[in-house]
Amino acid sequence: MTSILYRGGVVHSAADPFAEAVLVDDGVVAWLGANDTADGLAARADRVVELDGALVTPGFVDAHVHVLETGLAMDGVDLSAAAGVRSLADALAALADGARRLDGTDPGGGECLLAFGWDEQAWPERRPPSRAELDDVAGGRPVYAGRVDGHSAVVSSSLAAAAGVDQLPGRVSDGVLTARAHHDVRDVSRRISPERHARACRAALSAWAARGVVSVHEMSAPHLDTRGGLAEIMAATTDPAGGLPHVVAYRGELCETVEAARDLVAELPFLTGIAGDLTVDGSIGSRTAALRSPYADLSAGADDADRHGNLYLSAEQIAGHLTAVGAAGRQAGFHVIGDRAMDEVLAGLVLAAQADGSARLRAGRHRIEHALFVDAQALSSLLLHGVSLSMQPAFGAAWGGTTGMYAQRLGAVRAGGLQPFADLVGAGIPLAFGSDTPVTPVDPWTGVRAATAHEDPDQSMSARAAFRAHTRGGWRLAGLDHTGAGELRVGSPAHLAVWRADELTVQTGSARLSPLSSWSQEARAGQPLLPALSQDAPAPECLHTMRDGVVLHDTLSD
């Protein structure tokens, strides 16, 4: 380990709001304070970094990711608007180009062309590609084209035949696969070489580091990666010297007995939880999220079950999983999107509390992923049972609003009540923020901004609270906040990021940020600074990322 002194900037630290410099020694924050004192410490440091006014903050934690899926998406065909795909015609052209590129490295045509991110709601044609269109543009090659939410896909005829999915539940009339059919075809499309697996995962983790992310919560599941694949990710990231972010491991497998949970922990002893993408339902975009009331954009003539989405687990299964996983000494948790799915989880919590006792259930620190619908009943039950939430504010930024996809699927009134951040913070529900990448991009400042700009101003969070949810909150949900991670103070692990921002601001007590004319005014207010997060403010640029004293990403000169 070496020591690095950062000086001449602004340090986001509640321990010392006046700090302009920080010394990292053997992976730990050894000192922070004023520049004049830092000058006297320069001689003892192995490296001195001149910040030139840059902002040093705790590094971000992305509390819901899919490492392999993100790496494959980076290497596959991007069908999102961010890649310039704004119509069905654009998508087909991108797929044709991807097939031509793959022909150059795989002339036999056996490797599956992977594509991600289409959203028919944003296209003028208002429909996804058809199977026949995929067959045409790819020349018969296997093609998997996943919707942006990851819960449905269109596939080519050759891939559908290889997976034998056409007779399975979950195929809809326009060729889109959901539910079991989607899971099975995705399994076949992910049969890749160990070399490609390692390459994709390293690329994804390196991309997180370049965005100021020092730790991620990997939501592994059988339909996303193998147990062995998860073990490989952990082996590559356990030692900070490997130059990759820290990984908290979750595995989404339903455990019906304590023995099953203990067997899984014995095979994967690094697991923090048997949780994550253990799906109680699907997604709103694919109309597979389980709802109390029908989807607003499906006609009354549709099958009633289809109009209410899919419920994959019962309250009894949920309770059994909570009991089994808790007895194995691990967190349990579930993917929950719709209000009907939340109702089922709440019923499962009641059953588990009756079987095990409330104190034991609370001690499990169980978690729910996504949790878009949290009404008063859900809020009180989550508090009672000690459940934490891992949420994705970028969902609202991407699909919220009066004209967004949520409003189209649910109606404006129901959509307006999603993600009630202020209620959750006010009640004291532990929160952590993530991206669900590749569903939304790795961009933690966008997540912070989205939480401060809820469509309902009464449900917006302060920037400081949103930032803490995306930093310390992730360590807290993983049971690691006792280490001091997520804060910059003497003795805490040196997980930090350095940012270039055009303007630094201070929270003034509402959800808005108020710019100050100088940093000294901010210091007198006793509040750490953050970048300006208004919609027209330029995004902060990540200059440097450190995990446990090891530099993961660096554009700074000495």
CATH of domain 72-189: 3.10.310.70
Instruction: Report the candidate in 153, 8, 181, 4 with the shortest Cα–Cα distance to residue 76.
Output: 153
Using CA atoms, how far residue 491 sits from 37, 233, 483, 494, in Å, is: 18, 28, 9, 9
Supply angle C-alpha 63, 475, 470, rounded to 5: 50
Angle between the N-to-C axes of helices 227-237 and 194-210, in degrees from 0 to 180, rounded to the nearest 10: 50
What is the distance between the alpha carbons of residues 216 and 244, in angstroms, rounded to a whole number? 10
What is the distance between the alpha carbons of residues 301 and 524, in angstroms, rounded to a whole number? 64
What is the distance between the alpha carbons of residues 33 and 120, in angstroms, rounded to a whole number? 52
Q: For residues 549 and 214, is the Cβ–Cβ distance under 8 A? A: no
Angle between the N-to-C axes of helices 67-75 and 194-210, in degrees from 0 to 180, rounded to the nearest 10: 90
Percent of the chain with pLDDT over 70: 94
| Residues 6 or more apart whose Cβ sits within 8 Å of residue 356 | 322, 323, 326
Q: With bands split at pLDDT 50, 70 and 90, how would you rate the model's confidence at 69?
A: very high
Angle between the N-to-C axes of helices 88-105 and 131-138, in degrees from 0 to 180, rounded to the nearest 10: 40
Q: For residues 416 and 456, is the Cβ–Cβ distance under 8 A? A: yes
Q: With bands split at pLDDT 50, 70 and 90, how would you rate the model's confidence at 409?
A: very high
Number of Cβ within a 10 Å radius of residue 422: 19
| CA 364 from centroid of its chain's CA atoms | 22
Output the pLDDT for position 15. Answer: 94
Model confidence pLDDT, tens digit, residues 351-375: 999 999 999 999 999 999 999 999 9
Output the pLDDT for position 302. Answer: 59
Residue 328 is which amino acid?
A
Number of continuous H segments (helices) and E segments (strands) in the chain:
22, 24
Output the pLDDT for position 207. Answer: 97
Residue 106 is which amino acid?
D
What is the distance between the alpha carbons of residues 328 and 333, in angstroms, rounded to a whole number? 14
Q: With bands split at pLDDT 50, 70 and 90, how would you rate the model's confidence at 137?
A: very high
Strand, helix or coil for residue 447: helix
Q: For residues 82 and 441, is the Cβ–Cβ distance under 8 A? A: yes
What is the distance between the alpha carbons of residues 36 and 153, in angstroms, rounded to a whole number? 59
Q: For residues 539 and 530, is the Cβ–Cβ distance under 8 A? A: no
Residues paired with residue 336 on neighbouring β-strands, in sequence order: 370
Output the pLDDT for position 173. Answer: 59
Burial, 152: exposed, middle or buried (Cβ in 10 Å; 0-12, 13-18, 19+)? buried
pLDDT higher at 536 or 365: 365
Residues paired with residue 530 on neighbouring β-strands, in sequence order: 505
Output the pLDDT for position 510. Answer: 37
Instruction: Report the candidate in 134, 130, 152, 133 with the shortest Cα–Cα distance to residue 143.
Output: 134
Which H helix or E strand runs over 15?
A: none
What secondary structure letter does DSSP report for 177? B
Output the pLDDT for position 490. Answer: 97
Supply angle C-alpha 212, 27, 331, rounded to 5: 70
Which H helix or E strand runs over 414?
A: helix 412-416
Strands 3-7 and 47-50: parallel
CATH of domain 3-59+486-554: 2.30.40.10
Q: What is the mean pLDDT of the chain?
A: 92
Query: Could you state, in order of their start, the residue ranges of all structural domains in the chain?
Result: 3-59+486-554, 72-189
Q: For residues 227 and 253, is the Cβ–Cβ distance under 8 A? A: no
Instruction: Output phi, psi for 136, to 5 deg.
Output: -70, -50
What is the distance between the alpha carbons of residues 345 and 279, in angstroms, rounded to a whole number? 11
Residue 419 has pLDDT above 60, yes or no: yes
- Mean pLDDT within 522-527: 57
| Residues 6 or more apart whose Cβ sits within 8 Å of residue 351 | 315, 316, 318, 319
- Mean pLDDT within 51-57: 96
Give the CA-trace dihedral at 87, 91, 94, 95, to 10 degrees. -170
Residue 506 is which amino acid?
V
Instruction: Output phi, psi for 241, to 5 deg.
Output: -60, -15
List b or e across 255-278, with b for residues whose CB sees 16 or more CB atoms inside 10 angstroms.
Answer: beeeebbbebbeebeebbbbbbbb
What is the distance between the alpha carbons of residues 84 and 30, in angstroms, rounded to a whole number? 46
Residue 513 has pLDDT above 60, yes or no: no
Output the pLDDT for position 509. Answer: 40
pLDDT higher at 51 or 522: 51
What is the distance between the alpha carbons of residues 558 and 556, in angstroms, rounded to a whole number? 7
What is the distance between the alpha carbons of residues 390 and 434, in angstroms, rounded to a whole number? 7
